[in-house]
Homo-oligomer: A and B are copies of this chain.
Amino acid sequence: MDAKIGVVTISDRAYAGIYDDESGPAVIDTLNQIISSEWIPITKLIPDEKNEIENTLIQLIDAENCCLVITTGGTGPSSRDVTPEATENVCERMMPGYGELMRAISLEYVPTAVLSRQTAGLRGNSLILNLPGSPKAIHQTLIPLFESIPACIELMDGPFIDTNSEIVVAFRPNHR
């Protein structure tokens, strides 16, 4: 079973064509560096509309069977930023550690990382993860997060994801 991974760019301006989406491609590029096993990307580009974000996340998990859905954008304090709220609305259980860890990592680069409202959670057997919108911050956070993401997906009976060990080593604890 190859891993299907949804990558959702959430940006009014990229959706309207005011600028190119650089965030989604940065996620795909970083995943290509990280993952050495087979995987299938499913990409979406949508505006900062809560309903549309929720419907996209639901479709990628319930219909497309993605084991992991990564969003990028919409996590700041601007009035249009509602990605964390949409994520929480479609998750049955939350994973507070990922938001904490991403803010801690990004705080080593910029003090405004504290403004990031990123969260993560579980819907069925899938992990939804909010990443920041900046390509640089995507790269800085997504690589260390893959130390734990493959184990998370396996704990939910998802596919085995292998990583390029020169980029990041996936840690797999021995559960009894």
Which residues of chain A have a CB within 8 Å of any CB of chain B? 19, 76-79, 81-82, 84-85, 93-101, 103-104, 107, 110-117, 119, 122, 125, 127, 144-145, 147-148, 151-152, 155-157, 171, 173, 176
7 contacts between A and B (CB under 8 A): A19-B176, A77-B155, A97-B103, A101-B103, A111-B144, A112-B147, A114-B148
For A97, the chain B residues whose CB sits under 8 A away are 103, 113-117
A97 to B171, CA, bound (A): 26
A82 to B103, CA, bound (A): 25
Q: Is the CB of B148 within 8 A of A115?
A: yes
Of B79, B96, B111, the residue contacting A148 (CB under 8 A) is: B111
